[in-house]
């Protein structure tokens, strides 16, 4: 069973974490907030064991780093996505006028 289905609160808290390989034995985990790290701590033992087994390296060390800029997530509607594409290619606006797309 996936974490998303099993514990959606923990999943929501840790989905913005970023893992960065520093060297062969060091992985840096960047987290957006202390509350997200607290939720991660609930499943950290299971995660670390699975990770070490998956990469077949049991000497991996994990380093945590607080990165608050990871916290911002923008919700994009289909209309906003289309407007961004119109900025790139203005002909899409003409196509929208012609075809009358429903972007609500």
> Domain map of the chain by residue range?
3-71, 74-104
Q: How confident is the model at residue 16 (pLDDT cuts 50, 70, 90)?
A: confident
Q: What is the mean pLDDT of the chain?
A: 86
Query: Are residues 65 and 28 in contact, defined by beta-carbon separation less than 8 angstroms?
Result: yes
Residue 13 CA to residue 32 CA, distance in Å, equals 9
Q: Which residues pair with 97 in a beta bridge?
A: none
* Res 65: pLDDT: 93
Listed residue (102, 45, 52) closest to 77, CA to CA: 102
pLDDT in tens, 52-101: 999 999 999 999 999 886 555 667 788 888 888 999 999 988 888 888 88
Query: Are residues 60 and 52 in contact, defined by beta-carbon separation less than 8 angstroms?
Result: yes
DSSP at 32: S
Query: In this structure, which CATH number among 3.30.70, 3.40.1130, 2.40.10, 3.40.1350 belongs to the domain 3-71?
Result: 3.30.70
């Amino acid at each position: 069973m996936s974490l998303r289905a099993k514990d959606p609160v923990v999943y929501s808290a840790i989905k913005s974490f970023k893992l960065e390989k520093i060297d062969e034995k060091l992985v840096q985990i960047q987290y957006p907030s202390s509350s997200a790290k607290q939720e991660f701590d609930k499943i950290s033992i299971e995660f670390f064991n699975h990770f070490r087994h998956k990469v077949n390296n049991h000497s991996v060390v994990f380093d945590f780093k607080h990165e608050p800029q990871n916290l911002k997530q923008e919700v994009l509607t289909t209309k906003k996505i289309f407007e961004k594409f119109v900025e790139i290619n203005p002909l899409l606006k003409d196509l929208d006028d012609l075809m009358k797309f429903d972007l609500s």
